Chains A and B, each alone.
Chain A
Amino acid sequence: MVNSDNLNLLLKVNGTQHTLQIDPRVTLLDALREKIGLTGTKKGCDRGQCGACTVLVDGRRINSCLTLAVMYQETEITTIEELAKGDELHPMQAAFIKHDGFQCGYCTPGQIMSAVGLLAEGCPSDDAEIKECMSGNICRCSAYPGIVAAIQEVRQMQPNL
Chain B
Amino acid sequence: MNKTIGKPINRVDGRLKVTGEAKYSGEIPLENIAYGVIITSTIARGRIKHINTSVAEKSPGVIGIITHLDAPKLYARPNFGHEGAAGEKLAPLQNSTIYYSGQAIGVAIADTLERATYAASLVKVDYVVETPLTEMGKERDRAYPIEKFVEFTVEFALGDADAEFAKAEVKIEATYTTPTEHHNPMEPHATAAVWEGENLTVYDSTQYIFGMREGLAKMLGIPHANVRVLCKFIGGSFGCKYGLWAHTPLAAIAARQFRRPVKIVLTREQMFGLVGHRSETEQQIKLGATPEGRLTALIHQGISQTSIFDEFVETFTTTSRTMYAVPNLRTAQSVVPLNKGTPTIMRAPGESVGTFALESAMDELAWALKLDPIELRLRNYAEVHPARQVPWSSKSLKECYALAAEKFGWSRRTPEPGSMRDDRYLIGMGMASACFPMEHFPASAIARIFADGSVVVQSGSQEIGTGTATVMAQLTADMLGVPVEKVRFEFGDTELARSPGTVGSGTAASVGTAVHGAAKAVRAKVVALAQKDPNSPLYGVPEPDIETSQERIFVKNNSAKGETYQAVLARHNLEYIDANFDAKPEEEEEFAKCSFGAHFVEVRVDPELGEVRLTRVVGAFAAGRILNEKTARSQISGATIMGIGMALHEETITDPHTGRIVNDNLAEYHLPVNADIPPIDIYFIDEVDTHVNPIGVKGAGEVGITGIIAAIANAIYHATGKRIRDLPITPDKLL
Contact = CB atoms under 8 A, between A and B. Distances in A.
A103 B237 CA distance: 11
Interface in B88-121: 112-115, 118
A98 B14 CA distance: 9
Contact of A84 (B19, B630, B633): B19
Interface string B661-673: 0000111000111
A145 B679 contact: yes
Given A105-B465, A138-B666, A2 B118 contact: yes
B268 A106 contact: no
A9 interface: no
Interface in B28-49: 29
A41 B674 contact: no
A137 interface: yes
A44 B186 contact: yes
Interface in B628-675: 630-631, 633-635, 637-642, 665-667, 671-675
Contacts of A79: 20
Contacts of A4: 60-61, 114-115, 118
Given A100-B11, A148-B674, A39 B23 contact: yes
Interface stretch (B208-216, B228-236, B314-322, B583-591): B228-236
Contacts of B680: 145
Contacts of B640: 142
Contacts of B13: 105
B731 to A, nearest CB: 18
B115 A142 contact: no
Contact of B15 (A39, A97, A130, A148): A97
Contacts of A106: 24, 185-187, 235-236
B23 A98 contact: no
Interface in B659-714: 665-667, 671-677, 679-680
A103 B18 contact: no
A143 to B, nearest CB: 6
A103 B465 contact: yes
A98 B10 contact: yes
B18 A89 contact: yes
B27 A144 contact: no
Interface string A77-106: 001110110000100011011101011111
B283 interface: no
Given A103-B465, A106-B235, A39 B20 contact: yes
A121 to B, nearest CB: 16
B112 to A, nearest CB: 6
B21 interface: yes
Contact of B671 (A108, A140, A148): A140
Contact of A134 (B18, B186, B674): B674
Contact of A46 (B233, B268, B676): B268
A140 B464 CA distance: 12
Contact of B630 (A46, A83, A100, A138): A100
B114 A23 contact: yes
Given A4-B61, A44-B187, A108 B234 contact: no
Residue of A49, A50, A141, A146 with most partner-chain B CB within 10 A: A141
A16 to B, nearest CB: 15
Interface residues of A, number: 62
Q: Give the dominant DSSP class at B's interface.
A: loop
A49 B268 CA distance: 10
A119 interface: no
Residue of A39, A100, A109, A130 with most partner-chain B CB within 10 A: A100
A143 B22 CA distance: 18
Residue of B29, B634, B672, B674 with most partner-chain A CB within 10 A: B674
B113 A105 contact: no
Given A104-B234, A140-B238, A44 B268 contact: yes
A137 B674 contact: yes
Contact of A42 (B186, B675, B676): B186
B20 A81 contact: yes
Interface string A21-40: 00101100010011001111
Contacts of A2: 118
B642 A89 contact: no
Contacts of A93: 18-19
A41 B234 CA distance: 15
Given A4-B61, A33-B27, A98-B10, A104 B19 contact: no
Given A44-B187, A100-B11, A132 B675 contact: yes
Contacts of B115: 4, 23
Contacts of A23: 112, 114-115
Nearest to A83: B19
Interface string B700-735: 000000000000000000000000000000000000
A44 B236 CA distance: 11
Interface string B398-421: 000000000000000000000000
Contacts of B667: 47, 49
Contacts of B465: 102-105, 141
Nearest to B233: A105
B571 interface: no
Interface string B442-470: 00000000000000000000001111000
Contacts of B635: 103
Contacts of A109: 18, 20
23 contacts: A42-B186, A42-B187, A44-B186, A45-B268, A45-B666, A49-B268, A49-B667, A50-B268, A50-B666, A96-B14, A97-B10, A98-B10, A100-B11, A102-B14, A103-B466, A103-B638, A104-B237, A105-B17, A105-B235, A106-B187, A109-B20, A132-B675, A141-B634
Interface of B: 10-11, 13-24, 27, 29, 60-61, 112-115, 118, 183-188, 233-238, 265, 267-268, 464-467, 630-631, 633-635, 637-642, 665-667, 671-677, 679-680
Given A4-B60, A94-B18, 6 more contacts: A39-B24, A46-B267, A103-B638, A105-B13, A106-B185, A137-B674
